[in-house]
Amino acid sequence: MMLYVVLFFTFFSLFLYVLLGGADFGAGIVELFSSRNDRQLNRDTIYKVMGPVWEANHIWLIILIVILWIAFPVYFNIIIIYLHIPLTLVLLGITIRGVAFIFRHYDAVVGASQVWYNRMFRFSSLITPIFLGMCFGTLVSGKIVITEDYSETSFAEIFMFPWLNVFTILTGLFYASLCAFLASTLLIGETTGEIRKLYSKKSAIFTIVLVIMGGLLLAYGLWNKVVFVQDFLSNAYSLSAVSLSALILIPLWKAIKEQHSLLTRFYAGFQVLLVIFAAVNTHFPNLIITSTGDINMMDETAPDSVIRVLGISLIIGGGIILPGLFHLMKSFNMISIPKNFTGEDD
């Protein structure tokens, strides 16, 4: 019973990280692909909009990791050993991005160094989700080689090729475009007038990019007989979920055109939920596919006593945090932002 609570929070954290952390990365990507003038606008907008929840968005990742290591230690063990290098790159990206964000807004002197903070921020906003997407891709690519014998296989075969190939790069790009799509869509609701038009336009563009990336990913997987993609396309539920998410593009598109803030957000969030559902559903609970077979995350979970305590902690923690988070978002975000609001130091 508690195991289901834990599973729920696992996927809940994953979902929120993909959604909120993703929107956060996406804001940097949008900025990267903007004209000089729009960049400045974007910089100020995301400071106002994302600033207060910025840190909270990223803690979902920590929660996810902690749940994995406590409740699914064997499963976590494989992820952490075989994805060592791409995860290091993700961490590097998160580090650079986090400090660049805070430096550019909290440096006491606004001077030439801003150029560097901005560059670091935009660049790491793009590469971090790409590497993160590559990690997701690696898990299901069927390319992980699990071995105890290091004389037969080379370093590159175990620690490089599984995560560095066309399929994983495509998943990385897919996730990065999802981030950009999410950011531009969420920002529509947070802005008014000219800036709002700007994000509507960006949102439309990134929707197209996203659809193309998704199509490419599936086509490549099918062409190269990637087991996960084949299973994905033959699983009725997963297929219906992606079809539904494709269908939602139509009302989403309309809502974007009408610059409808709540609806765009709702559709975008729902879409992420559908995509994650489709992906997870395809192979759950065998969420790692290696070259020699599947690994079931429900095998060898932590003992009941641990799961019980974890489940209770999560319920209590969730009970404290979610209302707080909601209140924070409400105080700063969902309510429209007064024109003269400049964050602080006014």
Partner 1 sequence: MENLDYARLQMAFTLGFHIIFACIGMVMPFFMVVSHKKWLNTRKPVYLKLTKAWQKGVAIFFVTGAVSGTALSFELGMLWPEFMKHAGPVIGMPFSLEGAAFFVEAIALGFYLYGWNKLPETFHWITGIIIGISGVASGILVVSANAWMNSPTGFDVIDGNFVNIDPVAAFLNDAWFTQALHMTLAAFAATGFAVAGIHAFQILRNKKPELHKEAFKIAIFFGAVAALLQPLSGDLSAKDIAERQPVKLAAMEAHYETKKGAPLYIGGIVDEENKEVTHKIEIPKALSFLAFGDFDAEVKGLNDFPEKDLPPVAIVHYAFQTMVGIGTLMMIAALIFFISLKKKSWLNNRKYWWLFAILSPLGFVAVEAGWVVTEVGRQPWIVYNIMRTSEAVTPMPGMKYSFFLYVAVYIILAVTVTWLMKRQIKVLNNSIG
Binding site for partner 1 (CB under 8 A): 51-56, 58-59, 61-63, 65-67, 69-71, 73-74, 76-77, 80-81, 84, 87-88, 91-92, 94-95, 98-99, 101-103, 106-109, 148, 150, 155, 159, 302-303, 305-306, 309-310, 313-314, 316-317, 320-321, 324-325, 328, 331-332, 341, 343-346
CB of 292 to partner 1, least distance (A): 17
CB closer to ligand HEM out of 74 and 91: 91
CB of 295 to partner 1, least distance (A): 14
Tell whether residue 262 is a contact of ligand HEM (CB under 6 A).
Answer: no
CB closer to ligand HEM out of 59 and 102: 59
CB of 277 to partner 1, least distance (A): 24
> How many residues can be counted in the chain?
346
CB of 310 to partner 1, least distance (A): 6
Residue 220 vs residues 228, 240, 271, 276, 293: alpha-carbon distances, Å: 12, 20, 22, 19, 21
Written as six digits, the tokens of 109 are: 């002197």
Written as six digits, the tokens of 61 are: 């990742």
CB of 202 to partner 1, least distance (A): 25
Q: Which partner from the list partner 1, ligand HEM, none does 302 bind, CB cut-off 5 to 8 Å by kind?
A: partner 1
CB closer to partner 1 out of 5 and 239: 5
CB of 66 to ligand HEM, least distance (A): 8
Q: Which partner from the list ligand HEM, partner 1, none does 337 bind, CB cut-off 5 to 8 Å by kind?
A: none
CB closer to ligand HEM out of 69 and 270: 69
Residue number, nearest CB to ligand HEM:
62
Q: Which partner from the list partner 1, ligand HEM, none does 27 bind, CB cut-off 5 to 8 Å by kind?
A: none
CB closer to ligand HEM out of 62 and 81: 62
Query: How far is it, in rounded angstroms, from Cα 71 to Cα 269?
Result: 27
Tell whether residue 62 is a contact of ligand HEM (CB under 6 A).
Answer: yes
Residues that bind ligand HEM (CB under 6 A): 59, 62
